[in-house]
Amino acid sequence: MPNVLGLAALALTLVLSTGSQAVAVFDDASLIAEVRSGWQEAMNARDLFGMLDWYAPGAVVLPAEAAPRLGAEQIADWHGRWLFHANVYYAFETRSLSVDGRWALEEWEAEITLTPRGDGKMAIGGDPLQFRQSGFRVYRKDRIGRWRIDREVWSDDLPAVRELQRF
């Protein structure tokens, strides 16, 4: 019996002494950063379905000066237009992030480079357009601990270019 207690004490000492080194634990801010990064990578790769995976079921997107997009189908339609007509490159910067239990609010800015591709009927071509967006995302943690984008709203500083009106 003394050997069993000695081994148990040694195991407990090892676990307590290694603490956070024994198990990688990510805080919520890191997990939310992974969502933001995953969304950005999918969008920059023109991977519509990969980008949609980062939205929560029933998510709502409110684009600048446009009607709300409710759910995956409408969000896919909105973002799909950008991905069809242009190569889009997003570079996000978080301004603030507040986490409260299962919810988080992020204020962000993005530098966007848009290179028009044309629609098959008319090639737009030309130099890449650069503009900024700023907005907010509300993230929600599901029952198994995954963070997803639940609500998103932004405003644009779009250049006054006629071709952008087609999107």
Write down the pLDDT at residue 83.
Answer: 80
Enter the tokens of residue 28: 């919520």
Write down the pLDDT at residue 35.
Answer: 96
Closest CA to 153 of 43, 65, 57: 65
Lowest mean pLDDT segment, chosen from 26-35, 46-55, 78-87: 78-87
Q: Give the chain's largest Cα–Cα span.
A: 83
Q: Which domains does the chain have, with CATH numbers?
A: 26-166 (3.10.450.50)
**Residue 37 in this model has a pLDDT that exceeds 90:** yes
137 or 12: which leads in pLDDT: 137
**Residue 19 in this model has a pLDDT that exceeds 80:** no
Enter the tokens of residue 140: 């929600």
Distance CA 75, CA 39 (A): 13
Distance CA 147, CA 109 (A): 20
40 or 10: which leads in pLDDT: 40
Q: Provide the pLDDT confidence category of residue 161 given band limits of 50, 70 and 90.
A: low
Distance CA 88, CA 104 (A): 26
pLDDT tens-digit map of 65-106: 889 999 999 999 988 887 877 788 999 999 999 999 999 999
Q: Length of the chain in residues, anyone?
A: 167
151 or 8: which leads in pLDDT: 151
- 97 strand-pairing partners: 106
Q: What sections of the chain are H helices per DSSP?
A: 2-18, 28-44, 48-52, 71-85
Closest CA to 141 of 108, 99, 106: 99
Whole-model pTM: value is 0.74
